[in-house]
Amino acid sequence: MPERIDQLLASGQTTSFEFFPPKSEAERTTLERTIALLEPLKPSFVSVTYRGGRESRQRTYDLVTAMAAKGIFTPMAHLICVAHSKAELVEILESYQTAGVVNLMALGGDPPTHAGAGTGELTYADELVELARSVGDFSIGVAAHPGGHPRSTSMANDRARLAHKLELADFAVTQLLFEADAWSSLVDELEELGTTKPVLPGIMPVTSLSSIPRMEAMGSAVPSWMVEKLHHAHEIGGDEGVRATGIDLATELCEVLLARGVPGLHFYTLNLSTATREITERLGRSTGKR
């Protein structure tokens, strides 16, 4: 039987990695190398992103089902509901069921930009969770934004919607997280709303100054104190100084989060292995398959 993420989380702290499907042979080679280097760390599960459109959908499906078939990792497929009809979504969900993929990340998704994309019949992730439940017995995760979703009208509205999503789903994974207090506050606020489902912090070290504005554009602004420290590191040690400091800060963050009892750590790898490997090895994280 395929391993389910809800059951893995019930067994103890997890370690997980996120990949995106390659668009070219060069990207495929990079990803294959990354997978080979990260496989010895024995992550509890890995997730594969999906941006929308038939071509992207197929790339995600191919990567996830190949992982499931080979038994390299326990995979989780991302699926967005925008620009899809209900019939298309049911088709995708049934195809994952047939391939033995039982773990799903249900997302609303950004408005489509590719040519020919429709608006779709579903708008929000909770609708996709409900549809997936009607199709099969999936273990389902949803996204959480510690600073609030960019389209939320207020923090109270954001937390209420997230609590509702989590009542329907099994767990959540946050967007990029840079401070442990952001995770603690999010969990406390959800508990006040009666929701205690696992919330995994999303970790990605800041290894270059150029990544700072990109992270802000993604809705995950790097805190000012960290930006200052990274610029200081650049003044002293250049690009390598920034990288070393970013790895140190991410490792320290993970140590604090683990001490606070997070259900697991989810690393955004950008299909590269070095930073993730360094951090997890420093932490001694090799969870193995349960």
What is the pTM for the complete model shown? 0.93
Dihedral of the alpha carbons of 266, 78, 219, 283, in degrees to the nearest 10: 10
CA distance 52 to 186: 28
The token duo for 75 is: 């995979």
171 membership: H or E segment, kind and range: strand 171-176
Of 3, 18, 127, 189, the active-site residue reads 18
| Residue burial 22-46, b: 16+ Cβ < 10 Å; e: rest | beeeeeeebbeebbeebeebebbbb
Domain residue spans of the chain: 5-206+262-283
The question of whether 91 is a catalytic residue gets the answer no
CB count in 10 Å sphere of residue 122: 22
Domain 5-206+262-283 classified CATH 1.10.3720.10? no
pLDDT per residue as tens, the chain (290 positions): 679 999 999 999 999 999 999 988 999 999 999 999 999 999 999 999 986 667 778 899 999 999 999 888 999 999 998 878 999 999 999 999 999 999 999 999 865 555 555 567 898 999 999 999 999 999 999 999 999 888 888 999 999 999 999 999 999 999 999 999 999 999 999 999 999 999 999 999 999 999 999 998 888 899 999 999 999 999 999 999 999 999 999 999 999 999 999 999 999 999 999 999 999 999 985 444 33
Q: Strand 171-176 relative to strand 264-268: parallel, antiparallel, unpaired?
A: unpaired
The rounded Cα 146 to chain-centroid distance in angstroms is: 13
Cα 81 from Cα 98, distance rounded (Å) = 20
Residue whose C-alpha is closest to residue 34's, from 9, 67, 69, 76: 67
